[in-house]
Amino acid sequence: MEPKQAKSRIQALREQIAVLNDAYYNEDKPLLPDSEYDILVRELIALEKEFPQFKSKSSPTEKVGGRADNRFAEVKHKIQLLSLANGFNDNEIREFHNRAAKIVGNSLQYVLEPKIDGLTIAITYINGLLDIAATRGDGIVGENVTANVMKVKSIPQKLPKPIPYLQVRGEVYMPKAAFAELNAAREEAGEAPFANPRNAAAGSLRQLDATITASRKLDAFIYDILVVDGVNLKTHLAALSFLSEMGFPVNPLYKTGNIEEIIQGIDDWQDLRHQIDYDIDGLVIKVNDLAARRELSNTAKAPRWALAYKFPAEQAQTKVKAISVGVGRTGVLTPLAVLEPVWVSGSTISKATLHNEDIVKEKDIRIGDTVVIHKAGDVIPEIIKYIPQLRPQTAEPFQMPSHCPECGSKAVRLPEEAAWRCTNSSCPAQIREGIFHFVSRTAMDIDGMGPAIINQLIENGLIKNVADIYYLEQAELEKLERMGKKSAQNLVGAIAESKKKPLSNLLNALGIRFVGEKAGKILAQRFGSITDLQKASLEKLVVIPEIGEKIAASIVAYFNEPHNIELIQKLAEAGVNMEGSHEINQTEQIFSGLTFVLTGTLPTLSRDEAKAIIEARGGKVSGSVSKKTSYLLLGEDPGSKYDKAVELAIEIIDEAKLKELIGE
């Protein structure tokens, strides 16, 4: 390549990678699979090496891809959070070792760890207490996500020893099962699904509302010590052991050895990666000796003592035989690509969801196309792209149906949603899917009532809704295909047992839009009975922590529908439990309808403790002062919220006054 051509290509690659980095790191919306992104980066690295006259400090190869989001307070990292250089084969791993060996000797020992595909965080502890948590950002400045990190249960807020100063680095991730569950819920709600667990984790941790983070079932692994006072550690293995002693979640699946033993260890991961419940995009090879690390130092972007080994992309090529449309329990119409069966990441794939109309149009998937597929998060089959050169001339753009494919009723797409919905609440598909949900484990948990049994019950006219389940008789069940006397007896017993389930399970089972397992528990604890919940007004619901206007409006609408009232009455007459227990006495809801804003450091209460006191008594805690603010709770060293409260004449109280209000 001529220098002029190289300069043009380098500039084009830098611009393209910058756009991809912004989408991946800052918007949590990847535009390309990792494997295709890596190809572009490797091309840029090779060109910059061949034509050093065009190197630039502003190149993506010289800096970390992210930046701090201005919605969050900035945190300047005490130690720069570097990214890792990549290796893709055994030769590149040996080259990495040879470069290190020239500086510190050939007897290096390494630690091989899984490279968690999540969001990097740095957490600081002072005197054993969690002080601040920040994202990586651009490696120098990150985002303050302390409140959200404190919602990740596996991350300790207090250490067993009062270490004067400790800063650790790790990765917050979303387990594969939680990712699949979240995407299913988002699609049922008409929301766009997350592309993969990494983006789901990043989007969840970077929420302005920490209660959303708490609902997303995030987890974490801590894998490095950035700074520690009063502890002398000589190896990475010793550091991992220390982290484990301090209560941090440390990944146990690491291996040690010389470079050849590490290369052999990589082979074991080709199958193991599909057996774990979290997504990894490779492995990390680290020098074990910490003194050798200091001597090796780092480049502007990456340490010389570590290398990320990237797995070969597990993709496959197949054909789209048809595009069908399914109907979910909330009436959402979901396009599904029917594929020629192909083996991908440990299983045969014959179908792949296309999620919604927008994604079908964006990817331009058509019947007859040859497509490249993979498993998003090693879980969900996904079409990456079609191959233009192999598209048949007869292929036409796919159109979502204007009527429900199950019942023929009109389908509509609301302006704020990505999904089309069937308008018929009595649609057989919605009823069937609703029954599937009703009997599921987190709902009424009726053991033995699977899809095949439910389909037979519907086809034989034995059930038309979920309440009919509780009126089934053993003699009716015995007549079903593959249902003997013993099986029928067991199923009747399981149905009877499910009547005793807590009220929270029933509220989840009813399929009220936006009310799932967690919201069901909150509502059951707050109201204590389905009768009291039915009477609740929108105003009474929106003041409950974690029940926003969207959920509240859905609850009110559900209990105003005569068909739903009749269904609940029928369930009650069958003996299904309709009562819970008030975890919070209603007479204690002295802050109901009031909004508090906290600023500064309180004398004895932490911010979370003060928030819990307010919310337990029906109050709401907001992050900003407005005309709707009832009280500003003032501590030492207040910020601009104090000035705003004075300007708006908001009543200002201190910790002593708060305790007086609650009777302490």
**With contact defined as beta carbons under 8 Å apart, do 355 and 193 qualify?**
yes
**In terms of C-beta density within 10 A (0-12 exposed, 13-18 middle, 19 or more buried), how is residue 585 classed?**
exposed
H helix or E strand, kind and range, residue 256: strand 255-257
Considering just the CA atoms, what is the radius of gyration of the chain in Å?
A: 28
Which one, of 577, 449, 574, 591, lies nearest residue 504 by Cα? 577
Instruction: Collect all residues with Cβ–Cβ distance below 8 Å to 97 and sequence separation of at least 6.
Output: 108, 110, 259
Q: Contact at 8 Å (CB) between 36 and 312?
A: no
Q: Where are the alpha helices (DSSP H) in 364-484?
A: 428-438, 451-459, 474-478
Alpha helices (H) in 280-400, listed in sequence order: 290-296, 357-363
> Is 434:451 a contact under the CB 8 Å cutoff?
no
Is the Cβ–Cβ distance between 339 and 352 less than 8 Å? yes
- Helix (H) or strand (E) holding 101, with range, is helix 90-104
Q: Compute the distance between CA of residue 205 and CA of residue 182 in angstroms, rounded to an integer.
A: 14
Beta bridge partners of 403: 410
Residue 367 to residue 610: CA distance in whole angstroms: 57
- For residues 162 and 110, what is the distance between their CA atoms, to the nearest angstrom? 31
Classify burial at 651, counting beta carbons within 10 Å of its beta carbon; exposed 0-12, middle 13-18, buried 19 or more. Answer: exposed
Whole-angstrom Cα distance, residue 103 to residue 451?
63
Catalytic residue among 29, 55, 63, 115: 115
CA distance 175 to 198: 10
**Contact predicate 198/120, CB 8 Å:** no
Give the number of other Cβ atoms within 10 Å of residue 312's Cβ. Answer: 9
Pairing of strands 631-634, 651-653: parallel
List own/partner pairs for 550-559 with CB under 8 A and 24 or more apart. Answer: 550/514, 551/514, 551/515, 551/519, 554/512, 554/513, 554/514, 554/515, 555/512, 555/515, 555/523, 558/510, 558/512, 558/513, 559/533, 559/534
Please say if 158 is a catalytic residue: no
Active site residues: 115
